[in-house]
């Protein structure tokens, strides 16, 4: 039997879409081995259509600070009619790119990990040269934008059941919704089961002193350097690590800080699973994927920022569950870390609450359902043939 082909579309606007796609790719490969062929593609770059292919570079600037134009755009587009209008206006422009995609990457199932792609894919697949099943993995926790629920896809994987109402209000039939949780990369789930001391040793950290990890998503967003500085000024009895992601300017600032303070600085790391396992406290912007990973690790979080609109729901979720602290800005964030460092009992209680939100099996559940979609699609094609 030929391998079933899966094309996973993401884009590097932030680091979360790629991480989600990787989690599902790993789960497909782990469960089905040679029976599947999985391709990951940055769809916005692939399109070569201005301005889309520039989005990964612009994104950190668009959502910076109070991000008023972003917030406005987010709100204006956040309804089914607006999604439909905007997509239909854009569709003729991106249609050739979609055609090329279907030609160059023949797949049984195409999965979108990016809200911007969903309705375009829903329209495009109707004109594809053969039958293709489509799905999206929604990578936002509560404040899910209407763009995620653009119509025309076969399956919508959502993190929590409580999101189903909104999806249906936006026109998605119940039977196409699959509440499965947030997919988390395999190495995270495995690291969560290993002793903390092992991760600390692997990273060259002291095994007995608490560890605070500061991260701002894949692009090192928000006032991360100021948060780090405010914390270091308080001289915490802890090892502090700041992960700058793909933000060279931030990295330089952090290195400058490290000249006069005890601080570990990393750029974009592929060892996030080790850092999160080594940590006792995670200081982060409210990125959905980072939070899903922190939940798997049972790690309390201090949220120093949230992207307006799309990450506000994540803050709500963390607070409702008592899984962390909302402490916007450098001084409040640094104070919150100091409180948690002094109060081990509180830290542990928050960690336990975070663990209750964990969805370590989501990627596997998505993989199984995608495989079934591929089989259904092949049967559908044979029926037509
Ligand atoms: N990440 C990583 N290495 C880094 C920084 C971040 O692998 O150096 C990953 C992180 O583990 C998470 C993702 O990038 O999976 C960030 O996603 P999130 O949704 O939290 O924020 P975004 O960057 O998409 O805004």
Q: Which residue has the higher pLDDT, 31 or 14?
A: 31
Residue to mutate, 20, 218, 282, ligand 1, most ligand atoms under 8 Å from C-beta: 218
Mutate to test the pocket of ligand 1, among 19, 20, 279, 363 (most ligand atoms within 8 A of CB): 19
Distance of CA 352 to the CA centre of its chain: 22
d(CA 78, CA 71): 10
pLDDT of 384: 58
In the reported structure, the alpha carbon of residue 18 is separated from the centroid of ligand 1 by a whole-number distance in angstroms of: 8
Atom of ligand 1 nearest to the CA of 17: 24
Atom of ligand 1 nearest to the CA of 246: 8
Q: Residue 276: CB within 6 Å of ligand 1?
A: no
CA of 131 to the centre of ligand 1 (A): 34
Q: What is the mean pLDDT of residues 52-66?
A: 74
Determine how β-strand 264-266 pairs with β-strand 281-285: unpaired
Ligand 1 pocket check for 360: Cβ under 6 Å: no
242-259 pLDDT, tens digit per residue, is: 999 999 999 999 999 999
- Which atom from ligand 1 is nearest to the alpha carbon of 139? 19
Is 232 in the same domain as 176? Answer: no
How many domains does one find in the chain? 2
Does residue 181 have its Cβ closer than 6 Å to ligand 1?
A: no
Same domain, 367 and 260: no
Residue 185 CA to residue 20 CA, distance in Å, equals: 7
Residue 19 alpha carbon to ligand 1 centre in Å:
7
Residue nearest atom 22 of ligand 1, based on CA coordinates: 14
Residue 238 and residue 315 share a domain: yes
d(CA 231, CA 213): 11
pLDDT band at 385 (very low <50, low <70, confident <90, very high): very low
How much distance in Å is there from the Cα of 59 to the middle of ligand 1? 14
Whether residue 16 has its Cβ less than 6 Å from ligand 1: yes
Residue 62 predicted with pLDDT over 80: no
Is the preceding omega at residue 12 within 30 degrees of 0, hence cis?
A: no
Domain span at residue 292? 186-356
Residue among 3, 39, 180 at smallest CA distance from 111 = 39
User: What local confidence, expressed as pLDDT, does residue 323 receive?
Assistant: 98
Residue with tokens 């899966």: 6
Q: What is the structure's pLDDT at 9?
A: 97
Whether residue 202 sits in one domain with residue 91: no
**What is the structure's pLDDT at 310?**
81
Residue 304, token pair as written in the block: 């120093």
| Shortest-distance Cα residue to atom 14 of ligand 1 | 15
pTM for this entry: 0.95
- Identify the residue whose C-alpha is closest to ligand 1 atom 6: 218
Asked if residue 84 lies in contact with residue 110, where contact means CB atoms within 8 angstroms, the answer is no
The reply to whether 157 and 201 lie within a common domain is no
Same domain for 10 and 127: yes
* Burial label, 202 (beta-carbon count in 10 A; 0-12, 13-18, 19+): middle
Ligand 1 centre to CA of 385 (Å) is: 43
Q: Is 220 in the pocket of ligand 1 (CB under 6 A)?
A: no
- Ligand 1 atom with minimal separation from the 215 CA: 5
Ligand 1 atom nearest to 286, measured from its CA: 20
Model pLDDT for residues 302-349, shown as the tens digit of each residue: 999 998 888 999 999 999 999 999 999 999 999 999 999 999 999 999
CATH number, domain with residue 235: 3.40.50.2000
Examine the domain organization and report whether 367 and 301 are in the same domain: no
Which band of pLDDT confidence, cut at 50, 70 and 90, is reported for residue 18? very high
Ligand 1 touching residue 243 (CB < 6 A): yes
Residue 33 has pLDDT above 80, yes or no: yes
113 and 171 together in one domain? yes
| Confidence band for 383, pLDDT divided at 50, 70 and 90 | low
129 and 98 in one domain? yes
Average pLDDT over the chain, rounded to an integer: 93
Query: Per-residue pLDDT averaged across 280-288, rounded?
Result: 97
- Which residue's structure tokens are 């770059």? 45
Q: 123-167 pLDDT, tens per residue?
A: 999 999 999 999 999 999 887 899 999 999 999 999 999 899 999
Pair 64, 167 in one domain? yes
Q: Is 216 in the pocket of ligand 1 (CB under 6 A)?
A: no
105 and 211 housed in the same domain? no
Spatial distance between the Cα atoms of 22 and 42, rounded to a whole number of angstroms: 12
Distance 15 CA to ligand 1 centre (A): 4
Q: Are 303 and 345 contained in the same domain? A: yes
């Amino acid at each position: 039997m030929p391998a079933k082909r899966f094309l996973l579309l993401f884009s590097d606007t932030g680091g979360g879409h790629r991480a989600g796609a990787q989690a599902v790719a790993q789960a497909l490969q782990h469960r089905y081995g040679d029976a599947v062929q999985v391709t990951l593609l940055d769809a916005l770059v692939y399109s070569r259509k201005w301005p889309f292919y520039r989005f990964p570079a612009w994104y950190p600037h668009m959502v910076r600070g109070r991000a008023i134009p972003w917030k406005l755009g987010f709100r204006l587009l956040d309804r089914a009619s607006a999604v439909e209008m905007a997509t239909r206006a854009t569709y003729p422009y991106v249609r050739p790119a979609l055609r090329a995609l279907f030609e160059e990457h023949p797949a049984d199932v195409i999965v979108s990990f990016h809200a911007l792609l969903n309705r375009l894919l829903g329209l495009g697949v109707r004109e594809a040269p053969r039958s293709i099943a489509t799905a999206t993995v929604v990578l936002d926790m509560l404040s899910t934008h209407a763009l995620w629920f653009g119509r025309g896809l076969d399956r919508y994987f959502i993190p929590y059941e409580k999101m189903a109402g909104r999806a249906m209000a936006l026109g998605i039939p119940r039977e196409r919704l699959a509440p499965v949780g947030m997919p988390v990369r395999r190495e995270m789930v495995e690291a969560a089961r290993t002793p903390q001391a092992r991760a600390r040793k692997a990273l060259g950290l002291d095994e007995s002193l608490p560890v605070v990890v500061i991260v701002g998503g894949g692009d090192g967003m928000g006032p991360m350097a100021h948060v780090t500085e405010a914390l270091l000024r308080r001289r915490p009895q802890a090892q502090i690590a700041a992960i700058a992601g793909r933000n060279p300017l931030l990295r330089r600032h952090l290195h400058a800080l490290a000249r006069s303070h005890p601080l570990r600085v990393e750029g974009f790391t592929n060892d996030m699973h080790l850092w999160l396992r080594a940590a006792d406290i995670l200081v982060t912007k409210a990125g959905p994927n980072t939070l899903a990973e922190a939940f798997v690790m049972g790690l309390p979080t201090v949220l120093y920022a949230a992207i307006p609109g799309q990450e506000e729901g994540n803050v709500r979720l963390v607070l409702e569950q008592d899984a962390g602290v909302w402490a916007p800005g450098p001084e409040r964030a640094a104070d919150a870390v100091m409180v948690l460092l002094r109060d081990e009992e509180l830290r542990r209680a928050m960690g336990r609450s975070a663990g209750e939100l964990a969805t370590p099996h989501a990627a596997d559940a998505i993989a199984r359902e995608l495989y079934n979609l591929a089989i259904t699609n092949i049967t559908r094609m044979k029926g037509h043939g």
